[in-house]
């Protein structure tokens, strides 16, 4: 693998300021890609990441953007295209959780998760298609889903539904745009060591670990490596697929 395999390419990573999104953004930059990412509130963290990316010798673009806002998503893509000239990769990573049992779940909890996780992916996917279709080499869209969307999880009717929706979006969109040389795939992630995972209570964490055949949580570096493979030329014959980096949890 060439160290700068993505030199001359440009990527958008939604929700890129921390955790999985940050790891993917940095790995893409290490491999030579220009990287644009949005943030919701953390302007300071966004500025730090922008500086980290630029220190790797590539361009970076960051802007505040609510992924659930269709017009804002379209504007973000326009700004990225203006900054980089093209968009080769889109990683729909932005996501939130508002976990509770359905009998306690408020309508706002449902709406917020569906709007950010599912509508956000739809908004950005739609917005990048025209610039991607103008690119003779095509492009790649990668949706960061979850095993919660494959098997369902207690207390996550909203999150599980949003991630199952992302999987359906992946498959349908892959069929729609395959003829334009654009691939669409998803990662249905298991439990990954992030700030979100760190908030789990110890008893629940041990219970989940006991169900993972590999006996550990994944890490963001592993996810970033898999994501880069799925965006690379080596994966150009893969589309409409859901890859499960989950340590065997959902076998």
82-104 pLDDT tens trace? 999 999 999 999 999 999 999 99
As a whole number of angstroms, the distance between CA 109 and CA 112 comes to: 5
Residue-averaged pLDDT of the chain? 95
- pLDDT-derived band at 168, boundaries 50, 70, 90: very high
* Percent share of the chain, pLDDT over 90: 91
**Residue 24: which residues within 8 A CB-CB, separation 6 or more?**
13, 16, 91, 93, 223, 224, 227, 228
* Percent share of the chain, pLDDT over 70: 99
As a whole number of angstroms, the distance between CA 19 and CA 152 comes to: 22
The CATH number of domain 10-241, selected from 3.40.50.720, 3.30.559.10, 3.40.920.10, 3.40.50.10860:
3.40.50.720
How much is the pLDDT for 198?
Answer: 78
Flag whether pLDDT at 1 surpasses 70: no
Catalytic member of 39, 159, 204, 237: 159
Flag whether pLDDT at 2 surpasses 60: no
Q: What proportions of the chain, in percent to the nearest 5, are helix, strand and coil?
A: 50, 15, 35
- pLDDT-derived band at 196, boundaries 50, 70, 90: confident
- Residue 26 near residue 48 (C-beta atoms within 8 A): no
Choice among 11-15, 144-148, 200-204, 222-226 with the minimum mean pLDDT: 200-204
How much is the pLDDT for 205?
Answer: 84
**Residue 23: which residues within 8 A CB-CB, separation 6 or more?**
220, 221, 223, 224
Q: How much is the CA Rg of the chain, to the nearest whole Å? A: 17
The answer to whether 237 is a known catalytic residue is: no
- Residue 209 near residue 246 (C-beta atoms within 8 A): no
- pLDDT-derived band at 14, boundaries 50, 70, 90: very high
How much is the pLDDT for 64?
Answer: 96
- pLDDT-derived band at 204, boundaries 50, 70, 90: confident
CB atoms within 10 A of CB 52: 14
Q: For residue 39, with 0-12 CB atoms within 10 Å meaning exposed, 13-18 middle and 19 or more buried, which class applies?
A: buried
Helix (H, G, I), strand (E, B) or coil at 11: strand
As a whole number of angstroms, the distance between CA 113 and CA 109 comes to: 6
Mode of pairing for the β-strands spanning 89-92 and 139-146: parallel
How much is the pLDDT for 200?
Answer: 75
């Amino acid at each position: 693998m060439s160290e700068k395999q993505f030199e001359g390419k440009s990527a958008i990573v939604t929700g890129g300021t921390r955790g999985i999104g940050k790891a993917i953004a940095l790995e893409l930059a290490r491999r030579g890609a220009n990287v644009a990412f949005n943030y919701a509130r953390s302007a300071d963290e966004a500025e730090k990441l922008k500086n980290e990316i630029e220190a790797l010798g590539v361009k970076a673009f960051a802007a505040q953007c609510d992924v659930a806002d269709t017009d804002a998503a379209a504007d973000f893509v326009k700004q990225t295209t203006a900054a980089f000239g093209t968009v080769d990769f889109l990683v729909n990573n932005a996501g939130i959780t508002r976990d509770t049992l359905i009998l306690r779940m408020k309508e706002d909890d449902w709406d917020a998760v569906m709007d950010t996780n599912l509508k956000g992916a739809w908004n950005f996917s739609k917005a990048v298609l025209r610039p991607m279709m103008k690119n003779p080499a095509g492009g790649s869209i990668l949706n960061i889903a979850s095993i919660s969307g494959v098997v369902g999880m207690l207390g996550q009717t909203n999150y599980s539904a949003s991630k199952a929706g992302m999987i359906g979006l992946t498959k349908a969109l892959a069929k729609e745009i395959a003829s334009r040389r654009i691939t669409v795939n998803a990662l249905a992630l298991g439990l990954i060591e992030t700030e979100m995972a760190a908030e789990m209570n110890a008893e629940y964490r041990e219970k989940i670990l006991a169900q993972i055949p590999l006996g550990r949580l994944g890490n963001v570096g592993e996810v970033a490596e898999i994501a880069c493979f799925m965006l690379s030329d080596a994966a150009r014959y893969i589309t409409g697929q859901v890859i499960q980096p989950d340590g065997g949890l959902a076998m």
